[in-house]
Amino acid sequence: MASFSNDQLLQEIKSCEDLLTDRIADNMETFGVSSTVGRLLGIIYMNREAMTLDSLADETGMSKTRMSQVMRQMISLNIAEKEYVKGSRKDHYNVERDYAQTFISLFTSNWSEVVKRNTSLERRLREQIRHLETFLTEDSSEDVKVRMERLQQELDEWNAYYNWIDNLVAFFESGEIFNHVPIVSSEQEGGSTK
C-alpha cells in the first residue's frame, strides 16, 4: 500500500492518542463525574506538561469558563493542581500522572463524602429513636414495638456497613491495597524498570 509521509505518521499517532483520551473520558464517567473531567485529564496527561485554561479551551473547543469550572472540580477531587510557571500570568494546571493514584483519589473523594453524610444521619436517627422510645408504654401496639426494634437493627447494620466503607477508603488511601493487589507492569521488551 501507499507509504506514509512524516506528517501523515504524526497525524496517525495523534489520532491514536485521541482515542486514548476519548476512552479516559468515557471511563471517568464510572466515577460519577462528567466525561469532560476525564477529557481534560486525558488531554493534560498526554500533553505531558501543565496547561492553561486557554490552551484547554483551544484543545477541546469548549469555553474557557467551562474549563475553569472543570479544573476547579478536578482540584477538589485531588486529581489536578495548579502549578506555578514563572513569567506567566496564567494559571497552569497539571494532573496526577499515576493512574492508580488517580483511581484512589477519586474513590476516596467520593466515598469519604458518603461516609460523612451517613454518619451525621445516623447520629440524628439514633437520637430520634431514643426520643421516641420514651413514649413507648405497655399499651403501645406490638407493631410499634417491632418496628422500633427493627429500626434499631437497621441502624446497626448501617453502622457496620459505613464503617466498612470507611476502612475500605483507608485501605486504599494508605496504599495497603497494593500489598494485596499489586500493580504488575507488563513485560514488554525495553520496559522501563522504575
Partner DNA sequence: AAATCTGTGCAATTTAAACTTTACAAAGTA
Partner DNA sequence: TACTTTGTAAAGTTTAAATTGCACAGATTT
64 contact, one of a second copy, DNA, none, CB 5-8 Å limit per kind? DNA
Angle 118-37-75 from CA coordinates, rounded to 5°: 65
58 contact, one of a second copy, DNA, none, CB 5-8 Å limit per kind? none
| Residue 140: all three cell numbers together | 403501645
| Residue 5: all three cell numbers together | 509521509
Give the binding-site size for DNA (rule: CB under 7 A): 21
Q: x/- contact string, 1-30, with a second copy (CB under 8 A)?
A: --xx-x--xx-xx--xx-xx--x--xx-xx
Among 70, 74, 95, 115, binds DNA (CB under 7 A): 70
In terms of C-beta density within 10 A (0-12 exposed, 13-18 middle, 19 or more buried), how is residue 107 classed? middle
Q: Which of positions 96-115 make contact with a second copy (CB under 8 A)? A: 99-100, 103, 110-111, 113-114
DSSP labels for 67-89?
Answer: HHHHHHHHHHTTSEEEE--TT--
Q: How many CB atoms lie within 10 A of CB 181?
A: 9
Strands (DSSP E) found in the chain: 80-83, 92-95
Segment lying near DNA (by CB under 7 A), choices 2-10, 53-61, 114-122, 142-150: 53-61
d(CA 78, CA 71): 10
70 contact, one of DNA, a second copy, none, CB 5-8 Å limit per kind? DNA
77 binds DNA (CB under 7 A): no
4 contact, one of DNA, a second copy, none, CB 5-8 Å limit per kind? a second copy
68 binds DNA (CB under 7 A): yes
State the residues that interact with DNA by CB under 7 A. 33-36, 52-54, 61-66, 68-72, 89-91
